[in-house]
């Protein structure tokens, strides 16, 4: 899985999936990153750690 952290550095939490996608797009994320984010449930995300938990354990929320 691609490392999405750098594409979400400008996100203001809490936010919804749409904001994650907008931020990643604005930061130049490719289709691989956008595809993973697009698969996230439509819900409120309290913080980056919540996003990373749902994306999978191969993404370290603490770089």
The answer to whether position 60 is within a domain reads no
pLDDT in tens, 2-57: 788 899 999 999 999 999 999 999 999 999 999 999 999 999 999 999 998 998 84
- Within 8 A by CB and 6+ apart from 19, the residues are 11, 12
Residue 27 lies in a domain: yes
63 burial via Cβ count (<10 Å: 0-12, 13-18, 19+) = exposed
Q: Considering only CA atoms, which of 12, 10, 15, 11 is closest in space to residue 44?
A: 15
pLDDT at residue 62 tops 70 = no
Q: Indicate the pLDDT class of residue 63, thresholds 50, 70 and 90.
A: very low
Report whether pLDDT(60) > 80.
Answer: no
- How many other C-beta atoms lie within 10 A of the C-beta of residue 62? 7
Domain contains 63: no
- Which domain range does residue 19 map to? 5-55
Give the total number of structural domains in the chain.
1
Count of CB atoms within 10 A of residue 45's CB? Answer: 22
32 falls within a domain: yes
pLDDT at 1: 62
């Amino acid at each position: 899985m691609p490392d999405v952290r750098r594409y979400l550095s400008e996100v203001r939490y809490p936010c919804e999936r749409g904001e994650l996608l907008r931020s990643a797009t604005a930061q130049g994320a490719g289709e691989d990153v956008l595809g993973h984010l697009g698969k996230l449930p439509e819900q409120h995300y309290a913080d980056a750690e919540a996003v990373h938990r749902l994306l999978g354990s191969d993404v370290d929320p603490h770089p």
